[in-house]
Structure 1
Amino acid sequence: MEVGIVARKGSERAAAVASALRDAVVATGEAVWIDAVTAAALDEPESGRPVNALSDSDLAVAVGGDGTFLFVARNAGDTPIIGINLGEVGFLNAVPPERAEEAVLAEIEAFDRDAMNVREASRLTAEAGTWTSVPAANEIVVQGGRRGPGAGIEYAIRVDGVRYSGGHADGVLVATPTGSTAYNLSERGPLVHPDVSGLVVNEMAAVEGMPPLVVGLDATVTVAVESADGAVVVSDGRNATTLDTPIEVTVRRTTPPMRIAGPPANFFEALEKLS
């Protein structure tokens, strides 16, 4: 078995936890490595590997907050990820640091028995012509180049080819259940339990619009943008791409899903930390 460990960038505590986990895995006789940034933080630059090597590993360990988990997910392909929570909320990182070694070693033992309990969380992509976005675990946003008075986009939304809404707004957000607690929540969208198979369609500060809508997990959401100033498509708050308008952006579920190992997070406990 091969284990890759990534710590939150700039966090001495996260790097120290990653180092201790590496030592624990070495003691089991399994192969293990840390990413280059973490290795540099530990003054071991020669021992680090690129994060995209996670896709060839059997288990990825994310040490940090949900942002670190998502960073690992963008590089892990379909490799299962276990999250060690050094953040404030922890919807994705279920394991507290004091239980990190126990949890990672339990996953190694389960792997050896072919008995890992891996859960899948959907990811989304946006497409426009020949262009395809980076997969998103939280949300895809179609927006204007800026927000506020005089900004935004003129748009029309279709769900599986049928018009749902349209008009003028700062943008349109399509979120997974995982992402319902992120940007979607700040835009007054609904919370979606992770066991629910659905996507949220949320118009952002619409002049006239419909309430946020939960559609089927396999629905196809098309956002047609007519604004002359172009459209910006953003995946998980980063990887922004500006597209010429008029244009149609299609958002749908993609593969592989994000694969999560280890004990599940308590959704309602995590919600309490948001208040």
Structure 2
Amino acid sequence: MIFGVLGNPRKKDIPGVLQELKRSAGEIEIYYSEELKDLVPGGTGDQVLPLEEVVRRADVLFSLGGDGTFLKAARFSRGKPIVGINLGGLGFLNFFSPDQIPEVVNRLKRGEFYIEKRDALLALRSEKDEKFFALNDVSITITGSSRMIEIVVEADGELMSRYRADGIIVSTPTGSTAYNLAAGGPVVHPDVDAIIVTPICAHILSIRPVLLPSSTVVNITVRVKGEEKLMISADGQQQSMLVSGEKVSVRVDKGAVSMVKFEDTPGFFEILRKKLCWG
């Protein structure tokens, strides 16, 4: 087994976490992503490589940071299993704490784990051959202006809605507790095969979030007046400016992300109760 490690170097606890991971791994070979080059435990012979190469060589990826770091790991993972060690705030995607690292590594060595597959999203621009990958969500918003944008949404080619709003979010069930939730969208269990379309402050009160089958291809056409600029964002990390009148197609990438879990890993509703203070 080979470990690949990426993390957020700005987290104050990460030097100690890297040391503990190295101690727990023992003879297991570890490759570190370049952002950790100044923090890697010395004298180990382990290599610091570009993230793409770390992923190519690793059997299991460790994500050290908050949910943003996990989203980055997911985008580059190529389906490799990811262990999320939470060094951030809410940590919906990181199931383990730093003090669990020895136990996590020992269970990996013994094969006492299972893989939970999560759907992701793939978005494609009509004006350019540019693709976007998101575990949580793809959003389209206006930048540098308080004006609304005109949005036309189609589901498998059928007109679903036409309205003016501040933007639109297309989310996976995994991402339903992120931007979607903040915009008034529903919480959806990650086992549900669905895609969520949520308007951002629509100018029509009857416009509400819609759950669609995960097989649906969602086409979104956006228009602005004047020189305002539109931006597409995937998980808040992969971003690009859009042209007014451009169409964006979004579909589900089934089981694209693999998350490492154990039989006693907290369930979805236990995490919700803890993170969202549901009692």
Normalised TM-score (structure 1): 0.89
CA distance in 2, matches of 1:265, 1:245: 44
CA contact (8 A) 1:82 1:104 kept: no
- What's the offset of the Cα at 1:256? 6.5
Match of 1:68 in 2: 69
Match of 2:272 in 1: 271
- C-alpha distance 214-54 of structure 1, shift in aligned 2 (>3 A): farther
1:95 partner SS: coil
CA distance in 1, matches of 2:54, 2:190: 25
Q: Deviations over 1:211-248 (max 9, x none)?
A: 10111112111111232445321111122211222111
2:106 partner SS: helix
Match of 1:238 in 2: 237
Match of 1:38 in 2: 36
- What's the offset of the Cα at 1:44? 4.7
- What's the offset of the Cα at 1:109? 2.5
CA contact (8 A) 1:40 1:48 kept: no
1:22 partner SS: helix
2:184 to 182, 188, 195: 188
CA distance in 1, matches of 2:188, 2:145: 26
CA distance in 2, matches of 1:54, 1:261: 18
CA distance in 2, matches of 1:70, 1:265: 20
CA distance in 1, matches of 2:63, 2:30: 13
Match of 1:219 in 2: 216
CA distance in 2, matches of 1:80, 1:235: 21
- C-alpha distance 147-171 of structure 1, shift in aligned 2 (>3 A): farther
- What's the offset of the Cα at 1:78? 1.4
CA distance in 1, matches of 2:8, 2:110: 25
CA distance in 1, matches of 2:145, 2:267: 35
2:102 partner SS: helix
- What's the offset of the Cα at 1:116? 4.9
CA distance in 1, matches of 2:175, 2:139: 12
Q: Deviations over 1:59-97 (max 9, x none)?
A: 001122212211222222211101112223222111122
CA distance in 2, matches of 1:53, 1:108: 23
CA distance in 1, matches of 2:231, 2:5: 33
Match of 1:20 in 2: 20
- What's the offset of the Cα at 1:128? 1.9
Match of 2:48 in 1: 48
CA contact (8 A) 1:90 1:270 kept: no
Q: Percent identity?
A: 28
1:41 partner SS: coil
- What's the offset of the Cα at 1:193? 0.9
The residue correspondences of 1:134-149 to structure 2 (distance < 5 A) are: 134-146=132-144, 148=146
- What's the offset of the Cα at 1:42? 4.4
CA contact (8 A) 1:175 1:201 kept: yes
- Please tell me the residue identity of whatever aligns with 2:162: G
Aligned length: 267
2:30 partner SS: strand
Deviating 4+ runs (over 4 angstroms): 42-47
CA contact (8 A) 1:141 1:171 kept: yes
- What's the offset of the Cα at 1:118? 1.0
CA contact (8 A) 1:54 1:79 kept: no
The answer to whether structure 1 residue 11 and structure 2 residue 11 are counterparts is: yes
The answer to whether structure 1 residue 99 and structure 2 residue 67 are counterparts is: no
- What's the offset of the Cα at 1:255? 6.1
CA distance in 2, matches of 1:4, 1:252: 29
CA distance in 1, matches of 2:41, 2:110: 30
- What's the offset of the Cα at 1:16? 1.4
CA distance in 2, matches of 1:139, 1:146: 21
Q: Deviations over 1:235-268 (max 9, x none)?
A: 1112221122211111111367111113344322
Q: Which runs of 5+ in 2 are unaligned?
A: none
- What's the offset of the Cα at 1:19? 2.1
CA contact (8 A) 1:146 1:152 kept: no
Higher helix share: 1
- Please tell me the residue identity of whatever aligns with 1:49: L
- What's the offset of the Cα at 1:15? 2.6
- C-alpha distance 199-166 of structure 1, shift in aligned 2 (>3 A): same
